[in-house]
Amino acid sequence: MRLVRNIAYNTIISFLGRVVCVALSLVNIGLIARYLGQEGYGSYALILAFLSIFNNLADFGLYSLMTREISRPGADEKKIASNIFTLRIVILLLFLSLAIGLVWFFPYPVQVKIGIAIASVGFLFLSASQVMMGIFQKYLSVDKPALAEFIGRIVQIGIVLFCIENELSLFYILGALVVSSFFIFIINFLFAKGYIRFSLAFNFSYWKKVLKTALPIAASIVLTLIYFKIDSIFLSLDFINRGSTNPIRDVGIYNISYKILESLIFFPSMFVGLIMPLLSKFAVANIAQFKRVFQSSLNLLIIIVIPLVVGLILLSNPIVVFIGGKNFLISGSVLKILALAVGLIYLGSLFSNSIIALNKQKAGAWIYFIGVIFNIITNLIFIPKYSYFGAAFTTVLTEFLVTVLMLILVYRTISYFPSFKTAPKSIFASLLMGGFIYYFQQGSLFLVIGASILIYLVILYLIKGIAKEDIILLTKKSY
């Protein structure tokens, strides 16, 4: 019973922590965008996107591997945690150093190149903190990293406000990222040491074993995250974004909308993460029950996805103006396109986790590889002609391709094609909700969003669009 309470507590804290930190992140983005303007924010977003690619290349799935290894019976926790932590730092130093060196071969302004060197320190602290999540997950103490991230976000916003008040440059804004990342790292480090007394360790034979195990996991992670960031790099290069008079400004316009997308996609990952134990269990023990859980999860995601997409399309302009100011109004048109990608990502999160549960992750890695190649080719086709609109359209096409291929893989594995029977009622309720938004979109953004959610849920309830058996199946305590 105590274990169940701990899991429930950690689940609630994780959800609330992510909601609060996402909100603080959007506040921080809004402050920076309004202060720096389109081109200045474009430089800031480009620096983060460039470093993210190298940070993702250094990912190797080490935090997931640490969780698994230290959770095994009789595991030498200190040895495992110390070596994986050290290995993570060494890999990060190599890839971030590569980023700092390679950027000087790109046709970027000097402030972007220097900014990458500054921000790389923050990425080092953030990534070193991430690998410690394995320790917190094993000991069901995710409230501690949630607290660390909350404090870090508050520190960052405080420093950004100081920079704005004193009219300081982009470098000081990046310094806020470094300082907040350091706070997050130190807090997580002290908390983690309370569970496992790890330190730096250089057991090279163990490193070799870890890397061999981690590479298949790393492949899918790296491929996915590369096509999440490569569009910003392509937008920033004038020989690709040939139709633009200011590619760096285009990066800023695109990234305001893209940050909104990133802030919304944490929910499906968390939802599917809660369903994953059921999927993993029934994938081996009872394939008929696996299909039922898969279908019920899809039904609930469809109920969420359709009104979300409709609402984003109709409220895209007020949302981007609320976050970035009127200077970023054009970003609203980009968000209208990216709204479709949000819906696909929600569904894709279920399909990708189902693939892992069915032990088809190698085939899944090939799907992500196809997605990366497709994303690169389509970006090179559309960005020269349509700039940030082309990048947004490419994102939608890539997510559609990957989602469809994953669904086909699931179908071929279990000979089951899911039903989309909940979609018509959800579409009907969403259209009525959309009518309300259309007539009241000039009102208070939060009141319109709140009223829209209420209208949608009431209509869905009246037309019996929510199946009780789906909720019961996914919340059942035992099987």
Q: What is the pLDDT of residues 348-395, one digit of tens each?
A: 989 988 887 887 877 887 888 899 899 999 999 999 999 999 999 999
pLDDT for residue 3: 44
- 310 and 191 share one domain: no
pLDDT for residue 411: 93
Residue 54 lies in a domain: yes
Residue 118 lies in a domain: yes
CA–CA separation, 404 vs 272, rounded Å?
18
- 226 and 262 share one domain: yes
Residue 457 lies in a domain: yes
pLDDT for residue 225: 67
Q: Are 155 and 180 in contact (CB under 8 A)?
A: yes
Query: Roughly how many angstroms between the first and final C-alpha of the chain, as a whole number?
Result: 16
Q: Are 108 and 168 in contact (CB under 8 A)?
A: no
Query: What does the H/E/C string look like for the chain?
Result: CHHHHHHHHHHHHHHHHHHHHHHHHHHHHHHHHHHHHHHHHHHHHHHHHHHHHHHHHCCCCHHHHHHHHHCCCCCCHHHHHHHHHHHHHHHHHHHHHHHHHHHHHCCCCHHHHHHHHHHHHHHHHHHHHHHCHHHHHHCCCCHHHHHHHHHHHHHHHHHHHHHHHCCCCHHHHHHHHHHHHHHHHHHHHHHHHCCCCCCCCCCHHHHHHHHHHHHHHHHHHHHHHHHHHHHHHHHHCCCCCCCCCCHHHHHHHHHHHHHHHHHHCHHHHHHHHHHHHHHHHHHHHCHHHHHHHHHHHHHHHHHHHHHHHHHHHHHHHHHHHHHHCHHHCCHHHHHHHHHHHHHHHHHHHHHHHHHHHCCCHHHHHHHHHHHHHHHHHHHHHHHHHHHHHHHHHHHHHHHHHHHHHHHHHHHHHHCCCCCCCCHHHHHHHHHHHHHHHHHHCCCCHHHHHHHHHHHHHHHHHHCCCCCHHHHHHHHCCCC
- 136 and 39 share one domain: yes
pLDDT for residue 441: 85
- 224 and 183 share one domain: no
- 259 and 367 share one domain: yes
Residue 212 lies in a domain: no
- 198 and 281 share one domain: no
- 227 and 182 share one domain: no
In this prediction, the residues of the chain whose per-residue pLDDT falls under 50 are 1, 3-4, 477-479
- 343 and 418 share one domain: yes
CA–CA separation, 94 vs 90, rounded Å?
6
Name the packing angle between helices 287-324 and 2-57 (round to 10°). Answer: 60
- 148 and 279 share one domain: no
- 235 and 168 share one domain: no
Place of tokens 């139709």: 243
Q: Domain count for the chain, please give it.
A: 2
Neighbours of 95 (CB within 10 A): 21
Residue 211 lies in a domain: no
Q: Are 322 and 348 in contact (CB under 8 A)?
A: no
Place of tokens 């130093």: 93
- 8 and 90 share one domain: yes
Based on the number of CB atoms within 10 Å of its own CB, is 249 exposed (0-12), middle (13-18) or buried (19 or more)?
A: buried
Q: Which domain holds residue 104?
A: 1-202
- 268 and 399 share one domain: yes
Q: Which of the listed residues 149, 177, 202 is the one where a domain comes to its end?
A: 202
pTM, two decimals, is 0.86
